[in-house]
A = this chain, B = another copy of it.
Amino acid sequence: MAGKFYGVGVGPGDPELMTLKAKRVLEEVDIICTPKSAVGKESIALSIVEEVLGGDLEIKELIFPMTHNQDKLNKFWDEATAEIKEELEQEKDVAFITIGDPLLYSTYIYVLRRLEKNTDIEIETVPGINSYSACSAAMNRPLAEKNETVAIIPAAYDYDNLDEILANFDNTVLMKVARNFDDIVAKLDKVGITENSFYASRCGREDEFITTDLKSLCGEDLDYLSMVITKQSIEEE
């Protein structure tokens, strides 16, 4: 099998935050695979790539529906992997693109794990800028300094000990907060860090939205690509 497989992070949203390596690899490969939740749905990863590379690309859309049904997910991941393997077997180099970093909460992980079982396939992961780095930069606000700790929590899920983490970590990144937002704000209030927190969605995109007034968002229908970054105390010098 001569084709090489790349997992390529295209960054958090701003096309300029793609790396030089991601750009080179995407220019060199034969096929770019882009994950989509359904046919016809927007792919932010693909829109980033098209803004940087132009529109004349060989694209393969792979469907990964939004579901928590593991059997259903496994079936779609198996099918996507089979489609990629078919291209690799035809000696084509294939890139699988994701927003942010491919190895942090990305669908790429499930394709990677399946392809790794084929020990003859060469695989390279190209890291990308995380959304929380872009959000911190947009605010010019340190994510962590000196001996400060950081907790990263995928907040679309429930956690028994979230109160404890919020109280004990100097900084907490809560990713995908839309579903649990009101509950999260209640927990931040309990620790007394709501005023030190900010909410950001679609950082670096045209519809970027950032606010430190979290309470104003309670009860609202929030964007799927949104996060809250908290801090125990704002440093004064």
Using a CB–CB distance below 8 Å, which chain A residues touch chain B?
7, 9, 11-12, 14-21, 23-24, 52, 101-106, 109-110, 112-114, 116, 123-130, 133-134, 136-138, 140-154, 157, 159, 161, 165, 168-169, 235, 237
Given contacts A127-B133, A127-B136, 19 further A-B contacts (CB under 8 A): A17-B20, A17-B127, A19-B19, A19-B20, A19-B129, A101-B133, A103-B141, A104-B133, A104-B136, A104-B142, A104-B150, A112-B142, A113-B235, A125-B136, A125-B138, A130-B130, A149-B152, A149-B154, A151-B152
> A145 contacts which chain B residues (CB < 8 A)?
105-106, 109-110
Interface of A is mostly: mixed
**How many angstroms between the C-alpha atoms of A140 and B101 in the bound complex?**
12
> A9 contacts which chain B residues (CB < 8 A)?
133
> A144 contacts which chain B residues (CB < 8 A)?
104-105, 152, 154
11 intermolecular pairs with C-beta atoms under 8 Å apart: A7-B140, A9-B133, A12-B127, A16-B20, A16-B21, A17-B21, A109-B142, A125-B138, A127-B129, A147-B154, A150-B151
Distance (whole angstroms) from the CB of A72 to the closest CB of chain B: 15
> A124 contacts which chain B residues (CB < 8 A)?
140
Closest to A235 in B: B113
> A159 contacts which chain B residues (CB < 8 A)?
149
Inter-chain contact A137/B152, CB cutoff 8 Å: no
Distance (whole angstroms) from the CB of A230 to the closest CB of chain B: 14
Inter-chain contact A149/B153, CB cutoff 8 Å: yes
Inter-chain contact B154/A151, CB cutoff 8 Å: no
> A128 contacts which chain B residues (CB < 8 A)?
129, 133
9 residue pairs, one from A and one from B, having the closest CB atoms: A16-B21, A127-B133, A147-B157, A150-B152, A125-B137, A127-B137, A103-B136, A109-B142, A16-B20
**How many angstroms between the C-alpha atoms of A16 and B25 in the bound complex?**
11
